[in-house]
Amino acid sequence: MWAPVIALAVVMTVVVVARPSNSDPGSAAAEPAGPAADTDPVTECEGPQVPGLDSSPPCMEFSGDNGGATYQGVTGDSVKVVEIRAEENPQVSALLQQAGVIESPGDSVEFTEKAIEFLNEKYQLYGRTIELVQFDSECPLTPLDFDRCRASVQEVVDMEPFAILWPASGYPEVFDEFTRAGILTIGGDSLPASWYSDDAPLRWNVSMDADTNIEGVADFYCKKLAGKPADHTGVEIHSSIGARGEVTRKLGVVMVEGDNQSVQAEKLYTELAKCGEPEPPTFTYDPDITRAAETANALVTGMISEGVTTMICLCDPVAPVFNLPVMTAQGWFPEHVLPGVGLLDADPVARLYDPAQWAHAFGPSMIPNATDLDESDAQTVWSEMGGEGPVCGTCDARWPFYSLLGSMLQLAGPDLTPANVEVGLFTRDGSDTAPGDPTQPVVSFAPGKYNALSDHREVWWDPDLVSARDDGVGAYVAVNDGIRTPVGQFDETLDVPVAPR
pLDDT tens readout for residues 474-484: 999 999 999 99
Q: Cα–Cα distance between 76 and 73 in angstroms, integer?
A: 10
Model pLDDT, residue 253? 96
Are residue 147 and residue 273 in the same domain, yes or no?
A: no
Listed as own residue / partner, the contacts of 41-44 with beta carbons closer than 8 Å and 24 or more positions apart are 42/124, 42/126, 42/413, 42/414
Residue 270 in domain: yes
User: Which residues constitute the domain of residue 190?
Assistant: 3-209+371-427
Q: What is the mean pLDDT of residues 325-345?
A: 94
Are residue 164 and residue 279 in the same domain, yes or no?
A: no
Residue 8 pLDDT exceeds 60 = no
Domain stops at, among 427, 444, 466: 427
Are residue 312 and residue 260 in the same domain, yes or no?
A: yes
- Cβ proximity of 349 and 317 under 8 Å: yes
| CATH code of the domain in which 480 resides | 3.40.50.2300
pLDDT tens readout for residues 161-181: 999 999 887 899 999 999 999
In this structure, the dihedral spanned by the alpha carbons of residues 166, 172, 176 and 182, taken in order and rounded to 10 degrees, is: 30
Strand partners, 336: 311, 361
Instruction: Place 437 in a pLDDT band, splitting at 50, 70 and 90.
Output: confident
Q: Taking all residues of the chain, what is their mean pLDDT, rounded to a whole number?
A: 87
Q: What is the mean pLDDT of residues 413-437?
A: 80
The DSSP line for 317-350 is: TTHHHHHHHHHHHTT---EEE--BSTTTTSHHHH
For β-strands 310-314 and 335-337, DSSP reports them as parallel
Residue 447 in domain: no
Residue 434 in domain: no
pLDDT tens readout for residues 81-95: 999 998 877 777 666
Helix (H/G/I), strand (E/B), else coil: 283 = strand
Number of residues in the chain: 501
Q: Cα–Cα distance between 60 and 63 in angstroms, integer?
A: 10
Nearest Cα residue to 413 out of 126, 167, 136: 126
Instruction: Report the phi/psi class of residue 57: left, alpha or beta, with left for phi > 0 and alpha for psi in -120 to 50.
Output: beta
Residue 365 pLDDT exceeds 80 = yes
For β-strands 455-466 and 473-478, DSSP reports them as antiparallel
Q: Choose the weakest-confidence range: 100-109, 251-260, 388-397, 463-472.
A: 100-109
Model pLDDT, residue 103? 60
For β-strands 78-87 and 43-48, DSSP reports them as unpaired
Q: Cα–Cα distance between 477 and 210 in angstroms, integer?
A: 24
Q: Cα–Cα distance between 418 and 200 in angstroms, integer?
A: 9
Overall pTM > 0.85 = yes
Residue 60 has phi, psi (to 5 degrees) of -140, 145
Q: What is the mean pLDDT of residues 431-448?
A: 75
- Cβ proximity of 317 and 6 under 8 Å: yes
Higher-pLDDT residue of 325 and 374 is 325
- Cβ proximity of 487 and 219 under 8 Å: yes
Are residue 194 and residue 219 in the same domain, yes or no?
A: no
Model pLDDT, residue 108? 77
Residue 268 in domain: yes
Q: How many domains does the chain have?
A: 2
